[in-house]
Structure 1
Amino acid sequence: MTIEVTEIIRRFEQGYTSPYLCNCNDGKQYVVKGLDATYEGLIKEWVCANIGIQFGLPIPKPVIIHVPSIFSQFGENPSLTIGDCFGSTYVSGLSEILYSQLDKLDTQTMLDLYAFDYWIKNADRSLSPLGGNPNFFIDMQTKAAVVVDHNLAFDTSFSINNHKQLHIASRFWNIEQPRMFDRSIYEPKFDDALKGFDECIKYIPDVWLDNLVPEDGFLNQLRLTLTAYTQAEFWEGLK
């Protein structure tokens, strides 16, 4: 069944990608992003959410959502794109993590998040005593972590030094170092997560790919980044 928006509820204040909370024809609610995230950004969201879940991170389930043309007449003229958009399952009752709450988080989850964002070259998850943009939430009922937003992953200007200093999980990683067995722990996790790459790109909407120049070059660049862990240099950056 094609998942379609049946009601646009509201726009979220957070996020320059203009996400909207929507009801859909499967009876569920989703956070929906359109072209404010760009075609490249939508593909990055889709790929990273799929492989991130396979990696073991608490990322809401991603879906491709169709926004019918009737919403082009929506009274408030939303910037939500008509056509195929990226959606993630809505989790209610979330609160953005505060720096003072970091010590209460599961250490292994944070170590995994640090390694994952290093792998996908995602610099868009920072937090320090002075603030930041963590893209990390806590379910206030279950106290479970929820990780979102990967449209800026695969950053060609990604800085390892900034990652070590500013990433939300850097304090966990730095405290735990030096560890001798990072590669033996994480290489199998990268292997397992990467197995989902070819499958998930099969479902990328044609319109997203058709607007990339060149299409194959972009996907190949993503694949090149994701296979970098097979090289010794990759692991030097995790030390």
Structure 2
Amino acid sequence: MPHPRIVEAAEISHRSSQGTLRPFFVRDTQGDMFVVKGVNGAGRKALIAELVCAELGYRCGLPVADYALMTFPEGMLEFTTLEGADELAGGLAFASRVAPYCRELAYEQLEKVPTDLQQRVLLFDIWVSNEDRFLTDQGGNVNLLVDEDGGLVVIDHNLAFDPLSNMDSFDLHVFSSQRQALRDLEVQARHSEALDTALAAWDSIIGLVPEEWVYWDPDDPTTEVQPTLEDLHTWLQRLHEPTFWRDI
């Protein structure tokens, strides 16, 4: 995943019927389709979480969906007939590219996901406090896709860094069966090294976050969105504390 590119919207196709935010499907000027969340809809905190988690995930070896930052031509949002399109306003939007032929991971496909990848997804979600990935035989909100080659695609981190997150919530995680395995010291060492490598790139990662997401008032550095980027970094450093692994 290269540094985020800037893409321009050409057509707002439709709005999703799923999820709390109900993001928009937007085609860019190059013909690629994206699932898009805007500042006025998702909010700055959610967009920061999306970008930071996408970059951390990529750097620790997760198959995170490609993303871009999207702009909208003058007048497009004002004159579209699609209800709620004003939620895409407020500055650069977060756009997750839709890969061809992707479909949501089904419960019957869980056993096909490699064990090591299941562990990495679960650990990553615990690390970034993302509880929004559950699935049972009755359904759920898995936020995982399967591409045309059968590979996993990880999406949707707008609810990460939840200050109210607790370990009990991960009993419902789609890969909760791997929690016991993550208590093995050899398994911990393998995954910890990958996450630590990602965290080492923190300065580079936050350099990619648009300032208009970070501050309510770009001219006033005291208006930083809460939790601040420093708060997020402090939270992620739990990785180096024995209690982090003990609580898993």
Tell me, yes or no, whether TM beats 0.5.
yes
Change (3 A) 1:234 1:29: same
Deviation at 1:110, TM superposition (A): 0.7
The aligned length equals 235
For the pair 1:108 / 2:112, whether they are aligned, the reply is no
Of 48, 53, 58, the residue aligned with 2:58 is 53
The amino acid that maps onto 2:117 is T
What are the superposed Cα offsets for residues 93-143 of structure 1, whole Å, 9 maximum, x if unpaired?
A: 22222222211221111111011011111111112233321111112x211
Deviation at 1:200, TM superposition (A): 2.2
For the pair 1:90 / 2:98, whether they are aligned, the reply is yes
**Equivalence map 1:220-239=2 (5 Å):** 220-238=230-248
Query: Which range moved further: 206-215 or 13-22?
Result: 206-215
- The CA distance in 2 between the partners of 1:234 and 1:185, in whole Å, is 15
Structure 1 length as normaliser, TM-score?
0.90
Of 123, 126, 131, the residue aligned with 2:131 is 123
Contact 2:133 2:173 in 1 (8 A): yes
Gap runs ≥5 in structure 1: none
Of 63, 68, 77, the residue aligned with 1:63 is 68
**Equivalence map 1:187-198=2 (5 Å):** 187-198=192-203
Contact 1:11 1:19 in 2 (8 A): yes
Contact 2:128 2:236 in 1 (8 A): yes
Deviation at 1:155, TM superposition (A): 1.3
Query: Which range moved further: 124-133 or 31-40?
Result: 124-133
CA RMSD of aligned residues (A): 2.0
- The CA distance in 2 between the partners of 1:89 and 1:129, in whole Å, is 28
Query: Which range moved further: 41-50 or 16-25?
Result: 16-25
Deviation at 1:69, TM superposition (A): 2.9
For the pair 1:155 / 2:152, whether they are aligned, the reply is no
SS of the residue corresponding to residue 44 of structure 1 reads: helix
Q: State, as a whole percentage, how many aligned pairs show the same letter.
A: 29
Query: Which range moved further: 190-199 or 45-54?
Result: 190-199
Structure 2 length as normaliser, TM-score?
0.87
Contact 1:18 1:79 in 2 (8 A): no
The amino acid that maps onto 1:39 is R
Deviation at 1:27, TM superposition (A): 4.2
- The CA distance in 1 between the partners of 2:108 and 2:188, in whole Å, is 30
